[in-house]
Amino acid sequence: MGVVLGNTGIHTGRLSLGTVKFGRNTDVKYPGTFELPTDEDIATLLHCCRELDINLLDTAPAYGTSEQRIGRLLPGRREDWVLCSKVGEQYSNGQSTYDYSRENVRESVANSLTQLKTDYLDVLLIHSDGNDLNIINNTDIIDSLQSLKQQGLVRSIGMSTKTVEGTRAAIEFSDILMVTLNIDDQSHLEVIREAESHGCGLLLKKVLASGHRSPEESLSFVLGAVENGSAVVGTINPEHLRENYLKAFNKSR
């Protein structure tokens, strides 16, 4: 049960793990409040991923201590994991700030590599502030990402978008796109087809509508709609991870 992400040659499962909740519990859109998991909780969850062949972890500098905790607690060999991080958004003291400049991209990626204790990222995505087209058209971030790829610091590049127009524009330079798809928000379906036909790999976010929809109906819908995509579902609960895996597995057979 797996997919190759577009033309990148990167293999992953139909289910991947979102790790916002590893490191941040403020200014998030989940149905209830929660305590950050302990190191032991995260270690258990990551071992559970290995058992289930879930290899892609989606993180970001904006997810609080998520990158740092993954770097410290990741079990097994680095090459058995697909690490996806982002650049452009920082979150500190309860506030997000955005910077897409060449200097910040270089610093941010260097810091992600340090936090994650690795010398390369499998996927690096632009973390959008909502103004996708402005970032694409009016900053030099695409050049910055391409140069990081040439240097071998990242294997693939792309954008985690917020708008349909932005996603359409991002197809041109992206190996991989991360887009929202769930039962309540199907606005990206058409542009997903365009991205597929251009050979972009697809990571699907907010699949459970950030926990407002059940895994049963959500995974069935999303994985049925995007046969070569991976659903990046966030959880800090191993039982939920297993449940999501079973739903994704059944859908893929």
Ligand X SMILES: NC(=O)c1ccc[n+]([C@@H]2O[C@H](COP(=O)([O-])OP(=O)(O)OC[C@H]3O[C@@H](n4cnc5c(N)ncnc54)[C@H](OP(=O)(O)O)[C@@H]3O)[C@@H](O)[C@H]2O)c1
CA 238 to chain centre: 19
Minimum CB separation of residue 76 from ligand X in Å reads 21
Give the max Cα distance, the chain: 46
Span interacting with ligand X, options 1-9, 70-78, 203-211, 221-229, rule CB under 6 A: 203-211
Separation of alpha carbons 61 and 65, rounded Å: 8
Span interacting with ligand X, options 70-78, 111-119, 142-150, 237-245, rule CB under 6 A: 237-245
Per-residue contact string for residues 209-228; x = within reach of ligand X by CB under 6 A: xxx---x-------------
Q: Is residue 205 near ligand X by the rule CB under 6 A?
A: yes
Contact by Cβ (8 Å): 216, 247: yes
Count of residues engaged in binding ligand X, rule: CB under 6 A: 26
Using alpha carbons, select from 66, 137, 148, 152 the residue that is nearest to residue 107: 148
**Among 171, 236, 248, 251, contact with ligand X (rule: CB under 6 A):** 236
Contact by Cβ (8 Å): 69, 31: no
Q: Is residue 42 near ligand X by the rule CB under 6 A?
A: no
Q: How many CB atoms lie within 10 A of CB 193?
A: 12
DSSP-derived secondary structure letter, 101: -
Residues in the site for ligand X, rule: CB under 6 A? Answer: 18-21, 30, 58, 127, 160, 178, 205-211, 215, 232-237, 240, 243-244
